[in-house]
Structure 1
Amino acid sequence: MSANIHSQFAVTVLDVMKTQYKKRILFDYVQSCYTVSYIQKGEVLTTSPEGEFVASAGDVMIHRPNEPFNVISKSDGVHYLFNINAKVRDEEDFFKLIPLGKVIQIRDRKEYERKFDELRSLWLQEEDDFRNVQIGSLVFFLLYEIVESTKLGGRRSLRDPAITDRFNDVLQYMEDRLDQEITREELAKRYHMNPVYFSRAFKEIYKLTPMQMLRKLRLQHAKQMLESTDYTLEHISHRFGYYDASHFSKVFLSVYGKGPAAYRKSIKFTKTSIASP
């Protein structure tokens, strides 16, 4: 079943549906059309060749045709979605002509949901020409709302708090295991992500790869321990994941310009100088 509307803007509506789930996990899912999925309830992590994004209630996700994507949600959710192909003028792809980003925050959620409910009701009715015109008009309205929401700054980027907060768990996971061997693959698995996508999204936020961040955290904590304790270099190196004091010293020197022993000595000298009358 489909509905064709021809003008400067030609749209084929392939499906209109509401989906409800307890949790949702799709891996490497591919469709031959665009899927416009509005999140009425819940939060999902979505990854595609464009990168990784978090979409929450009030956001629209746009999944492109013939591009594999993942959708992961660990909580209850409700999505309003429709599948379409949309062409403008001389068979130009609407979504390439007007790039909208992967996730867009809708400016008027109540109106979007109300119009979608009308669309869903019409979709379930018996097919006729008038119904098809009404369906086309409502799809145009929903697309218009998405475009206008983008103009108002509704496009989500990897710098949004909702996205950066997503990786706080990764940082805590690292800090809790600084003495252990941790791999990029291990971290990506926690988010059900391809390691390449995970590393790319992580670096977009922190300007460091996950492994560079792990080294930075280890050295920061080791530096603090050199400043505040008398533990041996051997103890500190094992405490923060270095297999011996020599390796730890080389890495520390390359970052801070002083070896750990020299750094500790300079800190003690500074403290003594400040304490002296």
Structure 2
Amino acid sequence: MSSIIHSQFDITVLDVIKIQYQKRVLFDYVQSCYTVSYIQKGEVLTTSSEGEYVASAGDVMIHRPNEPFNVISKMEGVHYLFNINAKVKDGDNFFKLFPLGKVIRIRDQSEYERRFDELRSLWLQEEEDFRNVQVGSLAFFLLYEIMESTKLGGRRSSRDPYVTDRFNEALKYMEERLDQEISREELSKLYHMNPVYFSRAFQKIYKLTPMQMLRKLRLQQAKQMLEYTDYTIEHISQRCGYYDASHFSKVFRGEYGRGPAEYRKSIEYTKTNIATP
């Protein structure tokens, strides 16, 4: 008894690379194929139109073609990646028929790494028919491992918890420069991020855009200065980044329900009553 197997899988491997780095920054990077990038060492932040994800050792990142993405790491790392086009059946895109998450935790990392090393070794050899079959088979095996890992719950969602201290550097930067002009673009450069992506990621953590947070920090400082110093309203407004005292008073009133002078008087009244026996 015999069986005839018709292949329904058409795979084209375009490159197989090992990347080692001290720090890594890809900003608005666009490619024409899929990139399957396994993190053997390190941790990265990756952002795209799909959302924002933190990927660490043992995870695979899948970058879609013709969609800009960022990859940022401030630590030493090693990535195993291959660029690929894959089709099944009547030319349908493999990744559309079998949608995978942006970041996936690999179930058997040592086996994945071993198979990748085989793929890399074959890729560096001279081309021949048998070699191409082996390359395609190993690439298919790696895709199979990714799919099986997804079934076991390895798919990572953009709803994964964020590291809440991630933007502490931006907050500190704002707090130290409340009397200066600060833009979203300026803050995003601290993280080598696209300003739009930075603003979205920041807002997901703090429920405020960076500029709304800057306004909040300025008004909080103004409030403290009104409570604990004798500085004039004009001086406080300048120290808090408002060079027009009347505009500062309007913004302060909108936030706290009374103008700076009224607020200071109410604080003084409260302190006096508390101090009076």
Q: How far is the alpha carbon of 1:253 from its aligned partner?
A: 0.6
The aligned residue for residue 223 of structure 1 is: 223
Q: Partners of 1:48 and 1:199 in 2: how far apart?
A: 13
Tell me, in whole angstroms, the C-alpha distance in 2 between the residues paired with 1:274 and 1:7: 85
Give the alignment of 1:38-53 within 5 angstroms. Answer: 38-53=38-53
Aligned match of 2:66: 66
Determine the C-alpha separation between the residues in 2 that align with 1:175 and 1:111. Answer: 48
Identical-pair percentage? 73
* Contact 2:119–2:135 (CA under 8 A) maintained in structure 1: no
Shift of 1:130: 6.1
Could you tell me which residue of structure 1 aligns to residue 79 of structure 2? 79
In structure 1, stretches of 5+ residues that fail to align are: none
Q: CA deviation at 1:26?
A: 3.2
Bigger CA radius of gyration: 2
> Matches of 1:130 and 1:96 in 2, distance apart?
24
User: In structure 1, what is the equivalent of residue 200 of structure 2?
Assistant: 200
What is the correspondence of 1:164-175 to structure 2 with a 5 Å cutoff? 164-175=164-175
1:144 and 2:155 correspond:
no
Q: Structure 1 residues 84, 165: CA separation in 2 closer, same or farther (over 3 Å shift)?
A: farther
SS of residue in 2 equivalent to 1:208: coil
Q: Give SS of 1:26's match.
A: strand
**Given the superposition, is the C-alpha separation of residues 106 and 207 from structure 1 closer, same or farther in structure 2, using an over 3 Å criterion?**
farther
- Aligned partner letter, 1:147: T
CA RMSD across the alignment: 2.9
How many residues align structurally?
A: 270
Alpha-carbon distance, 1:145 to partner: 4.4
Structure 2 regions of 5+ residues with no counterpart? none
- Establish whether residue 246 from structure 1 lines up as the match of residue 246 from structure 2: yes
Structure 1 residues 271, 57: closer, same or farther in 2, change over 3 A? Answer: farther
CA distance in structure 2 between the aligned counterparts of 1:51 and 1:244, rounded to whole angstroms: 39
Q: Secondary structure at the match of 1:251?
A: helix
Greater Cα offset, 18-27 or 240-249: 18-27
- Could you tell me which residue of structure 2 aligns to residue 160 of structure 1? 161
> Aligned partners of 1:272 and 1:35: how far apart in 2?
68
SS in 2 for 1:165: coil
Give how far 1:179 is off: 1.0
Where do residues 172-191 of structure 1 align in structure 2 (5 Å cutoff)?
172-191=172-191
1:264 corresponding residue in structure 2 = 264
- CA–CA separation in structure 1 for the residues paired with 2:67 and 2:24: 19
The CA deviation at 1:136 is 4.6
- Scaled by the length of structure 2, what TM-score is found? 0.82
Q: Quickly say closer, same or farther: Cα 1:77–1:15, change in 2 above 3 A.
A: same
Q: Does 1:113 align with 2:113?
A: yes
Describe the SS at the equivalent of 1:161. Answer: coil
Q: Which residue of 1 is the match for residue 237 of structure 2?
A: 237
Give 3-state SS (helix, strand or coil) of 1:79's partner.
Answer: strand
Q: Deviations over 1:101-155 (max 9, x none)?
A: 4333445544433343344345446651762564155223332244236x35x41
Residue 171 of structure 1 and its aligned partner are, at CA, apart by: 1.1
Give yes or no for contact 1:159–1:205 (8 Å, CA) kept in 2: no
Does the Cα contact within 8 Å between 1:104 and 1:146 map onto a contact in 2? yes
CA change 1:131–1:106 in 2 (3 A) is: closer
Q: 1:9 to 1:208 in 2, by over 3 A?
A: farther
- Point out the more displaced range, 126-135 or 175-184: 126-135
Q: Give deviations 1:224-250, integer Å, cap 9, x for gaps.
A: 222233322222111111103222111
